[in-house]
Amino acid sequence: MTPSEIMAADAKRQGVDPSAILTTASKLIKGGLATVIQENNSVLLLTFIDRLDVELHLFTADSPLTLAKSLMSFINTIKQSELRRVYGKADNSGILEMLKRIGVNVLPSDKPQFNWMAEVHGAA
């Protein structure tokens, strides 16, 4: 599946209008405010808060086992980057539990608009 197909399928599954998600993501990416990485049938949208911090949004059409493998790949890619922190607004506690099980130190967010964060590299 292409990233847009994965995002559309995930949006439909969540009861959200896929065209709104795809339009917003496209504008952010074209404007240099976001980027995506794909592994299997999962896409991670990284929206820049600043140069070193990003908001993450996961879109997936993977089975739970494949999703765990995709998350490991995303984590390895992010660890190799210069990012300092990642943030999210998880409405699915299962994803946070999966992140914890695969070794991510999920913390309460220091930014009120997010409910979790994880440090990639120590804060400067």
State the pLDDT at residue 41: 98
In a domain, 73, yes or no: yes
Q: Answer yes or no: is 80 within a domain.
A: yes
- Give domain status of residue 88, yes or no: yes
Report DSSP state, residue 91.
S
Contact assessment for residue 55 and residue 88, using Cβ atoms and an 8 Å cutoff: yes
> What pLDDT was estimated at residue 101?
85
pLDDT of 96 reads: 85
DSSP per-residue codes, 14-27: HT--HHHHHHHHHH
The CATH number of the domain where 105 resides is what? 3.40.630.30
Q: Is 43 part of any domain?
A: yes
> Which amino acid is residue 63, in one-letter code?
S
- Which structure tokens are listed for 53? 């911090």
pLDDT for res 123: 53
- Whether pTM exceeds 0.85: yes
pLDDT at 124: 47
pLDDT of residue 28: 97
Is position 71 within any domain? Answer: yes
Determine, yes or no, domain membership for 124.
Answer: no
Residue 75 lies in a domain: yes
Q: Into how many domains does the chain fold? A: 1
The answer to whether residue 102 is domain-embedded is: yes
In which residue ranges of the chain is pLDDT below 70? 122-124
Structural domain including 10 reads 3-119
